[in-house]
Structure 1
Amino acid sequence: MKNKKFIASAVTATAIAAAVSPASADFVFTDVTEKYEEAVQFLLENGITNGVSDTQYGTHQSIKRQDAAIMIARTLGFDPDGEYEDSGFTDVPSHAKWAVDALKESGVIDGVSATQFDSNSYLTRNQTAKVLANAAGLVVDETVTTTKYSDVNAAFAPYVDALIDSGITQGKTETSFGAYQNTTRGEMALFIERAKDYFFAEVSFEMSIMHANDTHARVENLPKQVTAINDFRTENPDSLLLHAGDVFSGTLYFNEFEGEADIKLMNLMNFDAMTFGNHEFDLGSSPEGHQALRDFVTAANFPFVSSNVDFSADDLFEGLFQTQISSEPEGGNIYTGIVKEVNGEQVGIFGLTTKDTEDISSPGLITFSDNYIAEAQRMVDEFAAMGVDKVVALTHIGYNDNPAVDNDLELAAGVEGIDVIVGGHTHTSLEEPYLAGDNSAPTVIVQAGEYGNSLGTLDVGFDENGVVVSYDGGLIEIGEQAEDPEAVEILAPYKEQVEAVQQAETGAVALAPLENPRAGDDLTAPSVRKNETPLGNIITDGMLNKAREYSPDAIMAFQNGGGIREAIDEGPITVGEVISVLPFGNTLATMELTGAEIKEAFEISVGNYPNENGGFLHVSGGQVRFDSSQPAGERVVSVSYEEEDGTFTELEDAETYTIATNAFTAKGGDGYDVFADAYAEGRVTDLGLSDWENFQEELVRLGEITPETEGRIVNINEETVVEGE
């Protein structure tokens, strides 16, 4: 009960209303007015409460916290004889202990301290709003700080707002909630009766889903993930396991084995379906074309789903691509959609891949539909014609990626009939499922971050008409689990070869150390987190060169100093050294920013100088001049970009420019709200290209490297020093 969210549908509300009989003619409580009769009758008929005497309900009496706990625990169906974790409260009377323990364990209510529940105090209406919102599993927007009621403070505003949205409360007046007044027994009856379609939502079918996305060849995580999957299946034996794409690209395991290690481990996990990510098409321009992708597909013991991708023009996929929904899907094949039987119910699953793949990968002869919304609606309609009313969209279009192209939020808004979206592409860690749509046609969206660091889980309940009425879920962190022995055995030969490759020389040679200085407590010492460095210059040059292959208009590239982790010794540079410099597995992204926004970013970059700042931006393609004698926020003197002839042109505030950086920074990492805003507005494109691979390409291009700085970042108070380096 702790995290489960109930969704009141019109069907559910009608069914429950029909089950509640009107107040009987021989209603015995003389203190219950017409306003409260139906609510009190509802509580009596459902065994939630009794009166305070044979003739008195106690309508206008304030309700104590212990009595409210008993009432809510009964509403939720907790058994007075059940076993619950001891809450630790020493002031709860024995007759109420079961209820308080049950609600504390389920996260519905808490005490005023670790040992005190404050049992005999009265519950205020503010406190009642929070308890009821938690108990009913209402969707609470934690960002809400105000309501239409002037007496509700920010701490309780989200909960009162949730009750307002759900029709559970109307307040004392148009402007007063009566926030600090005690809740009466009559009011509690009204609240619970109005929330009945949340407390008593009729779930006729429940389904569990495990999900992964954007694993990007991080196969060393997978033996622990196998254990997490097996543990979840022990508790939920009929659960589905789905992958939302981007298995390819990102580590030496892919460079060396092109998905072979991944698919063997995925077969061990027993996936039910996977859709294609943009990176599955990265090898299309190689001499072998998509042979590695074909081998990956045919080696799978599970099917692939893809409704907006057409493989028919590529002979490598002849016989593998089926354009019809299959009720008997076979492993190693691609379908527009499939039907799986889960606990005796038919569940439809279809796939979508971002159209951006045409620009950020190498699909070759493989093409993508221009209208993903239409393709998705077509799939929902085909499932409906088959009598399938529970539909899962397995997508690689991004949770909140560029809305002008495609994303999950737009998909949920544009297509009626999708119950669950299991997504990928934006590497979004949705700690809780996101509910989109209205109560008559809700859609639950989930995504599990990146790199196999988490296993996503979702429990979703449907009513008899196939409408979602409840959901629960989250992310299981991968890290503490024991490694599955069979998975370790499968991975061993691949791991041995990768470790050997890490020692291999790239062909580049450092003629002097490429240092990664840190200042520590010495504010006069140089640091990668406040000064231009040769290593930062090479990294950003590699970013800019690679970005221009996809966006020729890109003018500059940025790298956060905190992401540069190690130095490189003098001599031949190994693959392992390259990876140690950029170990986080970031990807390359492009951003559309105005000149004013870029300057705002550099105010953040140099704002801590001479102190270190992990968000300090190294630069390629331009020059930043700042004055450290000025206050933070007013230090940037100029930002210029380099023309082809080597001259510099200062940015125009209102002009829009294409910038390259890593995805972490592009999403607002290190406090770059200006970038976060651009990301939220769909002005960021994650190219998905590995940062260390881009860095390695630049090192190899340079060959023999003499470390030097070039006056790209200049503090005008130290300009003579910088120019003399």
Structure 2
Amino acid sequence: MSSKKRSKLYTATVATSVLAASALVITPAQAESISFKDVTSSNSHVEAITNLANKGLIKGFTDGTYKPGKALTRGQAAVIFAKALNLDTKNVNDPGFKDVPKTHDYYGAIAALAQANIINGYEDDTFKMNKTITRGQLAKFIAVGLDIKASNNENLPFTDVEGNAYVKALYDHDITKGTSNTKFSPNAPVTRGQAATFIYKALQTKENVDVNTFDLTIMHSNDTHGRVEMAPKRATAVKEVRAKNPNALLLDAGDVNTGTLYYNEFKGQADLAFLNYMNYDAMTFGNHEFDAGSTPVGHQALVDFIKDSNFPFVSSNVDFSKDTKFTGLFSDLISSDPANGKIYSGIVKEINGEKVGIFGLTTEETKAISSPGSIAFENYIEEAEKAVKAFEGLGVDKIIALSHLGYDDSAAVDNDLTLAQTVEGIDVIVGGHTHTQLTEPVAVTKNTKGDAKETTLIVQAYQYSDYLGTLDVSFDENGVVVAYDGELLKLADYADDVKALELLKPYKEKVDAVQNNLIDATTSEALVNPRISDEGNTSGVSVRKNETALGNLITDGMLIKAKKYTDKEVIMAFTNGGGIRAAIDQGPITVGEVITVLPFGNTIALMDVTGKELKAAFEISVGKYPEENGGFLHVAGAKVEFDSSKPAGSRVVNISYKDASGNYVNLEDSKTYTVATNAFTAKGGDGYDVLGTAYKEGRVTDLGLSDWENLAEHLTSIGSINPTTEGRIVDIATK
């Protein structure tokens, strides 16, 4: 990781494993307390052997000897090193080595080191615990486990380990020397005496680090939206970070759900397989986790997702109590012993003897932009303050907010910047929702009590599993952030994890089978789905503020379908731009492309609304123009004219629709009309309270027809698509 921001607060040299190592400080008095009859004062390894034996890291034989010249096995080395790092050897995941039975004395140590990504096995899924460990293998054990890095860019003098970062790290700190001036002999066996000196010197190196700081590494993801095919690369990046920092936290800030065929086919279970595989520590809920609330089965898929997880969820401002599907899953408490597959207000993780608190927040906008049903969302500031107070009551002074509020989203509702500026005691905000690419942490420093200042770090890792976010943060003895460094690891640059690829295979085969089916329609040019932020978009056109050919095709299909399901005259159809999520490439169109355009599983609904209510809705649609607005309405069967030079709320100049004769007729405020839209918008999504009122009053009929299937049917009915816009939505101020 780069160190470009390491000295932002003050210079500190730190490593994740400091506390584990510092617990093994050896005093001269201790060094005199144990001796072995075959390890005399003239033995070059006497100091190391005596010190490590006194700390209980190594043992002699029943005859009072140590046998320093006897070769050390890989299994014996694992036991010594697991003790040196204070690893938990009881609560471990099975590493899957077929030659290490769970009943073996070495199993716990080997599993703990494998879980921490300090060791690995052979290609045949064995560990070979009885095989002699080599100098090269032990060098890796030590460098990775104790996070020892090279101190300069000079070349090694050894010709047989050129470019070996592990040997270089140990050589730079005088932990090891070569077997000659030019040879390290990485494949030579290591004796018990040599191993003792290796490890003892390494621990002494760590004792020189400033032990008054606690150092934490956080890996984070957000808004992955069903991009399961990137998971094997993310798994590789995670393993590499853990190899350097075995106790690093791995957190997700929500919106795993919706966006690709993987979600449509597996309802989050494909994503979950990889979250479990990567050993995530905690996740909070994004707004899209609640998208299925309006379906006949409600949030059952989310419940299954939670129950099947190998980690807990944190959620401080979401009230699940009125949805019986969550009964028994949710606890409105801070837990120091959280169970997997449960939801807590917050959890306490113990890392290297230090307590770290993690709590979750989800944007209150979820009730408007998703389908949470009876699930309620509470004020984020109030709930964050409660969480911090609860952590402090437990003696926790290092606190992380796992947030799906958005970095700089509407301050009138909630966002991370306001959270950092308002609530005392939060050290790190791991964020999501706005898909913000924070290439380095943002430090918000504010006055707290008196002249004291407090720093809160905000991080967010963009979207779609393009990056894995990393943050190294150091705390002083009072839990105050004193140093930090962070970056986004570009996952496209990583190789796929082999085991993760195998895990992906059955999911991908099913998705490919569906995705590659053609729908018997071809487009003469790409059906684009522009956003202002798109690279190369110089036109200023966006699906969230302008008419597009794709939006026209979607709404045309909705209008045609809706007319078949009622005897009433359906005058128009409209859909929100925020629900149109992807483009369609030029050429033959596949099922996968259509689903990716409309991934949210929406259905078509009929509404009876007045002309006045429709005008109010379109005022909301163009109210933020020229800014992007997920609620911007694409329309079929009608023309909307507005004047962006006028204040929001009074911009609509005229709305007209085609009558039975094909002539455009202006809306009348007092007249009631039947229109078609998607069920999400009909229920008031994206802030359309005026439509939500009609829904509550029983003026909406959900036809239960899939929006993406309807689009596929409509495109097929046309066959040859020639994309066009028709002036359906016009800003007269720019005419």
Q: Is the 8 A contact 1:383 1:389 kept in 2?
A: yes
Q: What are the equivalent positions in structure 2 for 1:518-597 lying under 5 Å apart?
A: 535=550, 537-539=552-554, 564=583, 566-569=585-588, 574-578=590-594
Aligned partner of 1:480 in structure 2 is 493
Q: Is the 8 A contact 1:622 1:648 kept in 2?
A: no
CA change 1:379–1:543 in 2 (3 A) is farther
Aligned partner of 2:203 in structure 1 is none
Q: Is the 8 A contact 1:564 1:582 kept in 2?
A: no
SS class of match (2:297): coil
Aligned partner of 2:420 in structure 1 is 412
Give a deviation string over 1:662-704, Cα, whole Å, max 9, x none.
Answer: xxxxxxxxxxxxxxxxxxxxxxxxxxxxxxx966543446762
* Residue of 423, 427, 432 corresponding to 1:424: 432
SS class of match (2:333): coil
TM-score, normalised relative to structure 1: 0.53
Q: What are the equivalent positions in structure 2 for 1:545-694 lying under 5 Å apart?
A: 564=583, 566-569=585-588, 574-578=590-594, 598=625, 622=639, 642-644=655-657, 647=664
Aligned partner of 1:400 in structure 2 is 408
Aligned partner of 1:351 in structure 2 is 360
Which residue identity is paired with 1:3?
K
Q: Is the 8 A contact 2:557 2:714 kept in 1?
A: no
Deviation at 1:6, TM superposition (A): 2.8
Distance, in Å, in 1 between the alignment partners of 2:723 and 2:654 is 17
Distance, in Å, in 2 between the alignment partners of 1:306 and 1:456 is 21
SS class of match (2:401): strand
CA change 1:544–1:488 in 2 (3 A) is farther
Aligned partner of 2:194 in structure 1 is none
Q: Is the 8 A contact 1:433 1:444 kept in 2?
A: yes
Which residue identity is paired with 1:698?
L
Aligned partner of 1:457 in structure 2 is 470
Give a deviation string over 1:219-267, Cα, whole Å, max 9, x none.
Answer: 0000011000000000111110000001111111110100111111111
Deviation at 1:334, TM superposition (A): 0.6
Give a deviation string over 1:287-311, Cα, whole Å, max 9, x none.
Answer: 2211111111111111000011111
CA change 1:594–1:230 in 2 (3 A) is closer
CA change 1:697–1:394 in 2 (3 A) is farther
Deviation at 1:713, TM superposition (A): 3.9
Aligned partner of 1:92 in structure 2 is none
Which residue identity is paired with 1:455?
L
Answering whether residue 499 of structure 2 is matched by residue 491 of structure 1, we say no
Aligned partner of 1:446 in structure 2 is 459
Aligned partner of 1:96 in structure 2 is none
Distance, in Å, in 1 between the alignment partners of 2:245 and 2:263 is 32
* Residue of 229, 234, 241 corresponding to 2:238: 229
CA change 1:487–1:595 in 2 (3 A) is closer
Aligned partner of 2:152 in structure 1 is 83
Distance, in Å, in 2 between the alignment partners of 1:462 and 1:429 is 25
SS class of match (1:364): coil
Deviation at 1:566, TM superposition (A): 2.0
Q: What are the equivalent positions in structure 2 for 1:189-338 lying under 5 Å apart?
A: 204-338=213-347
Q: Is the 8 A contact 1:218 1:452 kept in 2?
A: yes
CA change 1:301–1:541 in 2 (3 A) is same
CA change 1:533–1:306 in 2 (3 A) is closer
Deviation at 1:473, TM superposition (A): 0.1
CA change 1:323–1:233 in 2 (3 A) is same
Q: Is the 8 A contact 2:517 2:591 kept in 1?
A: yes
CA change 1:221–1:712 in 2 (3 A) is same
Deviation at 1:364, TM superposition (A): 1.7
CA change 1:473–1:517 in 2 (3 A) is closer
SS class of match (1:442): strand
CA change 1:642–1:701 in 2 (3 A) is farther
Q: Structure 2: where are the runs of 5+ without partners?
A: 12-149, 156-208, 448-452, 528-538, 562-571, 600-616, 644-650, 668-676, 678-705, 731-735
Deviation at 1:435, TM superposition (A): 0.7
Q: Is the 8 A contact 1:210 1:456 kept in 2?
A: yes
Deviation at 1:579, TM superposition (A): 6.2
Answering whether residue 714 of structure 2 is matched by residue 705 of structure 1, we say no
Which residue identity is paired with 1:498?
V
Distance, in Å, in 1 between the alignment partners of 2:725 and 2:420 is 49
Which residue identity is paired with 1:566?
D
Distance, in Å, in 2 between the alignment partners of 1:242 and 1:416 is 22
Which residue identity is paired with 2:656?
E
Aligned partner of 2:670 in structure 1 is none
CA change 1:83–1:517 in 2 (3 A) is closer
Q: Once the two structures are aligned, what percentage of the paired residues are identical? A: 51
Deviation at 1:411, TM superposition (A): 0.7
Deviation at 1:625, TM superposition (A): 12
> What value does the CA root-mean-square deviation take over the aligned residues?
4.7
Q: What are the equivalent positions in structure 2 for 1:91-102 lying under 5 Å apart?
A: none
Aligned partner of 2:6 in structure 1 is 4
CA change 1:465–1:534 in 2 (3 A) is closer
Deviation at 1:483, TM superposition (A): 1.0
Q: Is the 8 A contact 1:516 1:535 kept in 2?
A: no
TM-score, normalised relative to structure 2: 0.52
SS class of match (1:316): helix
Which residue identity is paired with 2:477?
E
Which residue identity is paired with 1:448?
A
SS class of match (2:292): coil
Deviation at 1:563, TM superposition (A): 7.3
Q: Structure 1: where are the runs of 5+ without partners?
A: 10-80, 87-199, 519-526, 547-552, 584-589, 602-616, 627-637, 651-659, 661-692, 717-725
* Residue of 382, 395, 400 corresponding to 1:387: 395
Give a deviation string over 1:280-334, Cα, whole Å, max 9, x none.
Answer: 1111122221111111111111100001111122222222111211111111111
Q: Is the 8 A contact 2:236 2:497 kept in 1?
A: yes
Distance, in Å, in 1 between the alignment partners of 2:276 and 2:390 is 29
Q: Is the 8 A contact 1:273 1:302 kept in 2?
A: yes
Distance, in Å, in 1 between the alignment partners of 2:270 and 2:245 is 27
Deviation at 1:536, TM superposition (A): 6.0
Answering whether residue 441 of structure 2 is matched by residue 433 of structure 1, we say yes
CA change 1:542–1:227 in 2 (3 A) is farther
Give a deviation string over 1:177-221, Cα, whole Å, max 9, x none.
Answer: xxxxxxxxxxxxxxxxxxxxxxx9996211100000011111000
CA change 1:3–1:619 in 2 (3 A) is farther
SS class of match (1:338): strand
